[in-house]
């Protein structure tokens, strides 16, 4: 017998806390992290913190891979028994194939699914999930929720400052000569997750990179409001807490939250990466 409830589906790039997942019965499909050809299910076999610790301490290759279509088909076949339809919000389809795999699996399982490509991950994705739940509680239907969340999607921000260019070089996003020059002149690239991960600016010194983030937030606040800023980091609490203090001191009315950087981004940016994320409201 169908309950009429809506099934909520996402993946581990959403950075949702355990309490929210349990309260709203969110179905979180884990991405796989691959360390030296050995695969682990994220949050089940290995935590993000453990992944970054191994990346720091071990030699070799560190990658992520999307869940298999079989994992999604199994989930959607089961959900069909209890739900009328599902709403799935996934990591950027350019960063991961999870969105496409989810949509394909829903068709294979003949499960009605409203799927949203977040074009991001981390805090903005968790924001979209929570907003979606809120909209359903207000009585909106699936297609209306999708339209609202797609509009909010364009107002998300996620900026990262890698601690060095080692991983960006390994992933082919910067050349060897760029890496050497950046090291020589202490150049810090600033990455934005806007569909893909792209370098939006390069500045000299860590201090100027942090100032760039603060200025970007200041500019956004001239036209829109921001209720919370997430400080994301790749297992560097010292760097993250210093950044959080700066945000608190500069914007005392805005709430902050520390959050581990999703591995699908961290495999490119490396251990020690830090950044800020917010959503314009």
Distance CA 229, CA 234 (A): 17
According to the model, what pLDDT value does residue 157 have? Answer: 97
Tell me which residue has tokens 């699996």.
105
Structure tokens at 152: 């909010």
Q: Cβ–Cβ contacts within 10 Å for residue 131, how many?
A: 17
pLDDT tens column, 32-79:
999 999 999 999 999 999 999 999 999 888 888 999 999 999 999 999
pTM: 0.89
CB 89 within 8 A of CB 99: no
Distance CA 275, CA 257 (A): 12
Show the DSSP H helices in 62-205 as ranges: 69-79, 98-109, 123-137, 142-153, 166-170, 176-184
Distance CA 84, CA 82 (A): 7
CATH topology of domain 156-279: Hypothetical Protein Tm841; Chain: A;domain 3 (3.30.1180)
Q: Is residue 162 very low, low, confident or very high in pLDDT (cuts 50, 70, 90)?
A: confident
Domain ranges of the chain: 5-30+67-153, 156-279
Determine the CATH number of domain 5-30+67-153: 3.40.50.10170
According to the model, what pLDDT value does residue 169 have? Answer: 45
Distance CA 274, CA 188 (A): 12
180 has pLDDT over 50: no
């Amino acid at each position: 017998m169908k309950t009429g409830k809506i099934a909520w589906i996402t993946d581990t790039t959403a950075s949702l806390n355990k309490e929210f997942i349990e309260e709203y019965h969110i179905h979180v499909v884990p991405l796989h992290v691959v360390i030296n050809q050995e695969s682990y299910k994220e949050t089940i076999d290995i935590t993000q913190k453990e992944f970054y610790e191994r990346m720091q301490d071990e030699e070799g290759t560190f990658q992520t891979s999307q869940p298999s279509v079989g994992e999604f088909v199994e989930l959607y076949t089961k959900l069909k028994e209890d739900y009328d339809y599902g709403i799935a919000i996934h990591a950027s389809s350019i960063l991961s194939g999870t969105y496409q795999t989810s949509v394909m699996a829903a068709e294979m399982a003949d499960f009605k699914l409203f799927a949203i490509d977040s074009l991001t991950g981390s805090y903005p994705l968790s924001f979209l999930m929570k907003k979606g739940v809120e909209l359903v509680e207000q009585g909106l239907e699936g297609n209306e929720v999708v339209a609202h969340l797609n509009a909010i999607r364009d107002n998300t921000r996620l900026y990262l400052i890698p601690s060095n260019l080692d991983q960006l070089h390994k992933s082919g996003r910067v050349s060897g000569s760029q890496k050497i020059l950046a090291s020589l002149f202490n150049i810090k690239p600033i990455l934005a997750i806007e569909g893909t991960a792209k370098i939006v600016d390069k500045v000299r010194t860590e201090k100027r990179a942090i100032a760039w983030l603060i200025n970007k937030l200041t500019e956004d606040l001239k036209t829109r409001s921001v209720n919370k800023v997430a400080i994301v980091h790749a297992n560097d609490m010292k760097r993250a807490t210093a950044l959080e203090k700066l945000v608190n001191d500069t914007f005392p009315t805005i709430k902050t939250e520390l959050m581990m950087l999703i591995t699908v981004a961290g495999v490119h940016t490396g251990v020690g990466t830090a950044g800020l994320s917010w959503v314009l409201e």
